[in-house]
Structure 1
Amino acid sequence: MKIFSDLQKYQSEKPLALSLGMFDGVHLGHKSIIDELITIADEKNLSAAILTFWPHPRFVFNPDEDLKLLNTLYEKQELIDKYAIDFLFLQEFDEDFRNLTGEEFVREILVKKLNVKYLIVGYDHVFGKNKSGNFELLQKLSSELGFEVEQMEAINIHENNISSTKIRKALLEGNIQLANEMLGYAYSVRGKVVHGKKIGRTIGYPTANIETESLKLLPKKGAYIVEVFVKNKFHKGMLSIGTNPTVNGEKLSVEVYILNFKEDIYDENITVKFRDFLHEEIKFEGLEKLIEKLDEDKMLTENFKF
């Protein structure tokens, strides 16, 4: 997959079958679009391409909104790269771009610059200044500009349309299993292991403190069963998101206890994949009660079927 962060550097090799959108999470709804895109590209001898935006348009339109994303840009690229996509276009969502009308975007970017011959959009996709671009506009322009357009229906789980917003909501409620079901994979967080207060090692549960990206969504405060990947090796783990209220902590931290693991991994980048929610953050009366709960969590983690 070739990645272009500057559309001006792209030279059309052959016409494109393309889909556009944020693709935050690259969830099962996105997968249905990508699968259709690849099928169409093969049938019509087109290159398969995705055009996405960075930063998220909501950061531009609502700069005070505390929006967290399911994927960092790197994670999104990794997830899309698992499919047989030829080109990924990363369009900077700046002032010039946000002021393009829907029709200008179709004419100047999709048709003139990218030579799109088949366009696939999601069931609720809108684009362009003042949301002036939609499926109806695409249908209107398609015959004049010589491209075909297809609108994909929503994918449902438990009679609910899958969306990035609903996945964020599930994660913030600690509903890991529903979030993972909608994503089609286990939600993950990655980051560098940094020094913490080292309280865990004094009670037999040394933890690795993970420094995460500020734009990445963290699930609800509490304890979780996780898969931990260190140096490409899998380990079982118990992860805590919270402020450590039992020891009067104030700063939010992400800490993981890795079962049967004693290596020094400071400054290593590790990935944790969320598998189940154990319990909400608890302030215990003392360290003895905390250790009792950790022992219970450890037993549940050891018996969990990964």
Structure 2
Amino acid sequence: MQIVEYRSNRVFPFRSEEPEEFPVVASAVTVGAFDGVHRGHRKIISRMVSIARQRALRSVVVTFDPHPRRVLGGEVTGPLGLLTTLEEKITLLRSADVDLLFVVRFTPEFAMQSSEEFIKNVLVGLLGAKSIVIGYDHGFGRNRSGSGDDLRRLGLELGFTVDVESEVRIADEHFSSTRIRQLLGLGRIEEANAFLGSFYTISGTVVEGDGRGRGLGFPTVNIHIPDPHKLLPQSGVYVAESNIDGLSWMAMMNVGVRPTVEDGGRTSVEAHILGWEGSLYGRELSFNLLHFIRRERKFPTLEALRQQLEKDKKTVELYC
């Protein structure tokens, strides 16, 4: 999958300051924030890829960074609760057999474009759209004002077809990133993963901690998450899994403020990796969340905490 960045009317190889020549190629295109790249998103992307293959077109996913809500503001006053950082989104899309991921740097100026300007200038003019695939509730351009009917009208004018993918539901529940956020906030990891079609992932850099876990007999890796808008699930202890150097390792992950050892602490993410020995400082790690064990709580003594951690570890071992 090729990845390029679009901003200020110029195209760049991803994370490069040098513009590259970007040829207009006949393409099938789909557009969206695709936060979580959940099963509803995947159905749309799969339909687009299928059309591209049938018509010998390039398959293109257009997404935005930062998330449009970070730029447009409105009622957003704190972290957005993103299901995926850009890097996590890229990892998920690599498995979708897409030819090109086109990352639009979303700015206030870009947001002022009308739906027609966006379609003409970017989708058709730059990406050569001959087919555009959208979800049933998709909106284009400023204030999401562009509808499927607008697309079809422009398609007749500019020479592209429009396909609208139907809604996806699980057990008659509406599919949305909002619903997945709700499930994660309740610690209902298995249900959230079912909607995602993959495991919910927390990624970041291993940084030095205070060593308290090692003192209790449970050394942990402390994870710094680079994007403050990344959604953390309900505070508590989780069964997790991480791939390190090509091998899968089970882990006991804690998300929370560690009330037994720290008063008024900030939310942190740390994981005890079962069987791991050695330093991981500075490494980039991703953890898939598999199961919610229990809520975080304050224990009367460190020994009581240690005993509970032993029980939590057994839960992880049984989950294997």
What TM-score results when the alignment is normalised by the length of structure 1?
Answer: 0.95
2:216–2:306 CA contact under 8 A, matched in 1: yes
Query: Aligned to 2:262, which of 223, 228, 248?
Result: 248
Output the CA distance in 2 between the equivalents of 1:109 and 1:267: 39
Q: Which amino acid aligns with 2:236?
A: G
CA–CA distance in 1 between the matches of 2:69 and 2:32? 13
SS in 1 for 2:191: helix
Distance 1:95 1:248 in 2: 41
- How far residue 215 of structure 1 moved from its aligned partner, in angstroms, is 2.6
Instruction: Please give the alpha-carbon distance, in whole angstroms, between the structure 2 residues aligned to 1:185 and 1:56.
Output: 21
2:294 corresponds to 1:294: no
Correspondence for 1:273: 288
Following superposition, the deviation at residue 240 of structure 1 comes to 0.5
* Percent identical residues: 37
Q: Is residue 101 of structure 1 aligned with residue 92 of structure 2?
A: no
Q: Distance in 2 between matches of 1:204 and 1:116?
A: 58
Give runs of aligned pairs for residues 204-215 of structure 1, distance below 5 A. Answer: 204-213=217-226, 214-215=228-229
Q: Tell whether the 8 Å contact from 1:236 to 1:258 is kept in structure 2 after alignment.
A: yes
Aligned to 1:236: 250
Q: CA 1:13–1:101 in structure 2 vs 1: closer, same or farther (change >3 Å)?
A: closer
Does the 8 Å contact 2:79/2:230 carry over to 1? no
TM-superposed deviation, 1:262: 2.2
Q: Does 1:175 align with 2:207?
A: no
Deviation at 1:123, TM superposition (A): 1.4
Matched, 1:133 2:149: no
Structure 2 Cα separation of the partners of residues 252 and 66 of structure 1? 13
- The Cα of 1:13 is off from its aligned counterpart by 4.8
* Superposition deviation, residue 12 in structure 1: 3.7
Q: Aligned match of 1:115 in 128, 141, 155?
A: 128
Corresponding residue for residue 69 of structure 1: 82
Structure 1 unaligned blocks of 5 or more: none
1:113 positional shift: 2.4
Is 2:60 the partner of 1:45? no
Give the structure 2 partner of residue 58 of structure 1: 69
| Alignment partners' CA distance in 1, 2:212 and 2:34 | 40
User: What 5-or-longer segments of structure 2 have no aligned partner?
Assistant: 12-20
- Measured against aligned partners, the alpha-carbon deviations of 1:29-58 in whole angstroms (never above 9, x if no partner) come to 111111111110111111111111111110
**TM-score computed with the length of structure 2 as normaliser:** 0.91
Q: C-alpha distance in 2, partners of 1:11/1:241? A: 43
